[in-house]
A and B are shown apart, each in its own frame.
Chain A
Amino acid sequence: MLVLGTVGSQNTKSFASSFDSIATLSGTGSSDSITFSSIPDGYTHLQIRGIATVNYASVDFGTLGIRFNGDTGTNYSRHIMRGFYSGATAYSQGGNVVSSTYNEAGMAYLTVGSVYTGVSIIEILDYANTNKNKTVRGLSGSYWTTSGAVQLGSGVWRNTAAVTSVTIFGSNGNFGTNSTFALYGIKA
């Protein structure tokens, strides 16, 4: 008979890692994109965690685009929900683009070398599955002295190929050298 009772002590088990660091890339100051290539297929999902500044002075924050396997065609669809400040006014907005050349999943602060940064968590689900299109989602944001933004994004790459490379690019200029993106693999 199995008796369930209070556990007075518990052993610590050793588990195989299910969240592995694959690679980390940093901005160079002279390029508007970074690319993770030769991504191994041994995981279930991918996660990218990044902090970023982008060299562009026109506005306060910039969204980051993401593409897969070098595909620059109109094979992406994306949707965002965003809260942000412009001037002294708060905006809550949503938007979608049915046919796009990229997905939108992150955010950067638009002054290279600033102590302020944009931060992003981007997840690419079931990236190695060859029977379905690939979906991506992101949580990102930035806050600085005069404004701020927080964004939830999602999208699809209408392609059933396994994702073997991921390119992240700033829509408004080059990544600063204090920009860092780390790619992780998540096992089921």
Chain B
Amino acid sequence: MPAAYTPIATQTLGSAAATVTFSSIPQTYTDLVLVTSVLSTSVSGWGINFNSDVTSGNYGYIVTDGQGSSVQTVRQTAPGRLQIGGWSIATGSTTKPSIGITNIFSYSNTTTNKTALSRSQTYNSTTGTNVSAFAGVWKNTAAITSIVVSLDSASYSFLAGSTFTLYGIKAA
């Protein structure tokens, strides 16, 4: 039986970079899974844009986030990208990664907007850890052909050692 869960590409940063891009994504899978392991000294969340679309009104997400003994839910209606990690706690460690798993459903269909689910755990060497769950949408019916991962500001960088792996899942 052919493998249904296949690595498409992995990027391990050898030096700091502001963005990581997966381009020319094959259209032969059903879903995509993006696994991120982020090192950054910037106090930041991290997120993704599809097909170079940075228009704020084209994205939206809801996040439920736990830190310490508190839980909060926040909805962002025009964030400019899909947040996939970091909320009440932001990144901020050179050695302890913040991690996320993002599922992008039916990414190649051209009849529905693209919905993603993410779970993340963020570590900051000063403020501690949190855990978050995100549901978000890209309000576009186009097939996803590229993904750019970024921090909250263009001046922030992922540090060397950060890893980003994109998987494809193929249904029968």
Contact = CB atoms under 8 A, between A and B. Distances in A.
Interface of A: 15, 17-24, 49, 51, 81-85, 90-92, 114-119, 121, 139-145, 147-150, 152, 178, 180, 182, 184
Contacts of A150: 62-64, 73, 117, 133-135
A-B interface, 10 closest residue pairs, ranked by CB to CB distance from nearest: A141-B135, A83-B64, A83-B73, A148-B62, A182-B171, A19-B5, A150-B135, A17-B3, A21-B172, A21-B4
Contact of B72 (A24, A92, A121, A180): A92
B106 A51 contact: yes
Contacts of A18: 5
B50 to A, nearest CB: 14
B3 A148 contact: no
B75 A148 contact: yes
A149 B135 contact: yes
29 contacts: A15-B3, A17-B3, A17-B5, A21-B172, A24-B171, A24-B172, A51-B112, A51-B115, A83-B64, A83-B71, A85-B75, A90-B73, A92-B64, A92-B72, A92-B73, A114-B112, A115-B112, A117-B115, A119-B116, A143-B61, A143-B135, A143-B137, A148-B62, A148-B75, A148-B135, A150-B134, A182-B30, A184-B5, A184-B169
Given A92-B72, A117-B113, A148-B60, 7 more contacts: A21-B170, A116-B112, A119-B103, A139-B103, A141-B62, A150-B133, A150-B134
Q: Is the interface of B mostly helix, strand, loop or mixed?
A: strand
Contacts of A141: 62, 115, 117, 133-135
A81 B60 CA distance: 21
Contacts of A21: 1, 4, 170-172
Interface in B86-113: 103, 105-106, 111-113
Given A19-B3, A21-B4, A84 B62 contact: yes
